[in-house]
A = this chain, B = another copy of it.
Amino acid sequence: MTKLVLYLLPLIISCNAIHPGPVVRATKGEVWPKPQVEEKTEQYYTVRPHGFNFKGPTNIGCPNLLNDAFTRYWTIIATASSLERRGRLHEVGRKPKTKFWKADSNYLGDLTNLHVQLDDCASEYVLPAFGDNENYTLSVTSEGASLTADTIWGVLRGLETFSQLIYLEQDTLIINATNVNDYPRFSHRGLLLDTSRHFIPIYIILQTLDAMSYNKFNVFHWHITDDHSFPYKSRTYPELSDEGAYHPVSKVYEQSDVSKVIEYARVRGIRVIPEFDTPGHTSSWGAAHPELLTTCYTNDKPDGDLGPMDPTKNSTYDFLTKLFTEVVEVFPDSYFHIGGDEVDFTCWQHNPDIASFMKANNISTYEDLESYFIQHVVNLLDSLNSNYLVWEEVFVNGVTLPDSTLVHVWRDNGHETLNSVTKAGKYGIFSSCWYLDHVSSGGDWEKFYECEALDFPGTEEQKKLVLGGEACMWSEAVNEYNVMPRVWPRASAVAEKLWSAGNVNDTQAAKGRLEEHTCRMNNRGIAAQPPNGPGVCL
């Protein structure tokens, strides 16, 4: 009585019977997201963690980053064979068959090293940045295994791939002889997390960054404030979170928390882009600073409510200058997401001061008034030498934007908008069909997988201006208890759309790999939900 005919359909087509066991069999040692070029052979090594080491260059600029990654991936590989997880099979009839590897002509012996070749890091402290080279080549042959990349970021991606090529066969870790030549399709591969509508504790953000690295995401878009709460504890204006957070002590991100997130992300090759959305989505700012927001009127009298930021006051811009000067200092990435979406004009429409201001300044529409505001913010960011992303409304409303601006397309007609954005020579970031808060029954990842960012009728030149996309986890309906399984493995579908070649688009073919990848995430401590119906992770 489960009504989920969906899951049974492929089986019903192929035969009358439902077979015991998982509906979709997990692949073994397949990589997610799928590498651009991968050639695998029948030959294989065994990997015995305690006899295995990473060997890397010693005289390069970023030894810590490299050594940390080696430790991380050694631990991942070592725990992939956990017997605890699979239980004591010898106690029951279903014993594993012991394979006599040595008698097998495909057996290449124990793999003892992965040689990592990296010419240099720029310096001791390197920060992932927009447009980084993430290419790598990985080669596991009868001669041994080596990983080569131009940058530390390429090395990190390659180590992830290497760890995923290793799989458990009976009770032994195996890696097939494989050649991988890999690079991302898009350079901006993001996950947005909204920490305002529900507060998401730091430990969940760190788990999210772990999972992002397992999926080769490279941008954590931290939608840190919104109408409902202001959890960022500012050094300049601590009262913003003292008054505007859901709780001034237990539901805030201290400066030390923010540093921890940035560093945890950095060593995994993930940029952290903060978003302080204005002029709408700012109600929580008004808890401490009501003067920043527009006074709303009903029947020509203030009605006690506050609307979007007040674009007519210089004091608003002075405040933002001080706050954003801090934010640009705290968040080292050269990009800042300044929001600019969904401004409700009702409050502006009834405020007499707004009316006088518009008249005095020859501003005839509220879209133009919004543009007037955003233009100030844009100029402010320019003066702070920061680049920025904006939500699509900013572009649509005609704000003058420098060419470096990334226009973040999110509304339903996203492909059309991407066409306009790129026709105007602007860069586009795509999210329209990757809203993780849109949920349906089942594993619910196919709809994300079947959406292609470049599916609009522009020129090749236009399409080059689409730099990537983001899966968006708005937090109306997620808290710390369900956010991880809500995001994973559904965001993994987006990760593959953003990393892998455009022709990797066969949902049916992806199922077995995503089944394996989900179990891999579970085994690494990520609370991912099942992607494909009945199944098990061992």
Interface residues of A (CB under 8 A from B): 1-4, 7, 15-23, 85-89, 91-94, 194, 196-199, 227-230, 238-239, 242-244, 246-251, 283-284, 286-287, 296, 303, 305-307, 341-342, 344, 346-347, 350, 391, 410-411, 431, 435, 437-444, 472, 474-479, 481-482, 484-486, 522, 527-530, 533-538
Contact = CB atoms under 8 A, between A and B. Distances in A.
Contacts of A15: 296, 303, 305
Contacts of A486: 482
Number of copies: 2
Nearest to A437: B441
A414 to B, nearest CB: 11
Contact of A198 (B7, B244, B287, B534): B534
Contacts of A244: 20
A478 B533 CA distance: 8
Contact of A94 (B22, B243, B443, B537): B243
A198 B296 contact: no
Nearest to A297: B16
Contacts of A230: 20
29 contacts: A1-B341, A1-B431, A1-B474, A3-B435, A3-B437, A4-B474, A15-B303, A16-B346, A17-B283, A17-B306, A19-B305, A20-B228, A21-B228, A197-B535, A198-B534, A250-B538, A439-B439, A439-B444, A440-B440, A441-B477, A444-B477, A475-B534, A476-B533, A478-B529, A478-B530, A479-B522, A479-B529, A482-B486, A482-B529
Contacts of A85: 250
Contacts of A538: 246-247, 250-251
Nearest to A526: B481
Nearest to A442: B477
Chain A contact residues: helix, strand, loop or mixed: loop
Nearest to A280: B18
A20 B286 contact: yes
Contact of A347 (B16, B86, B437, B474): B16
A88 B242 CA distance: 12
A337 to B, nearest CB: 11
**Which of the listed residues A199, A230, A243, A530 has the most CB atoms from chain B within 10 Å of its own CB?**
A530
Contacts of A286: 20
A530 B249 contact: no
B536 A229 contact: yes
B533 A477 contact: yes
B198 A530 contact: yes
B16 A296 contact: yes
Nearest to A488: B481
A421 to B, nearest CB: 15
Nearest to A88: B249
B534 A228 contact: yes
A256 to B, nearest CB: 15
Given A227-B534, A251-B536, 9 more contacts: A1-B341, A3-B437, A85-B250, A229-B534, A439-B444, A442-B477, A478-B530, A479-B537, A482-B527
Contacts of A477: 4, 441-444, 529-530, 533
B17 A296 contact: yes
Contacts of A89: 248-249
A408 to B, nearest CB: 8
Most B CB within 10 A of own CB, among A197, A284, A477: A477
B228 A22 contact: yes
Nearest to A431: B1
A197 B8 CA distance: 12
A527 B227 contact: no
Nearest to A435: B3
Nearest to A86: B250
Contacts of A7: 476
A264 B486 CA distance: 30
A511 to B, nearest CB: 14
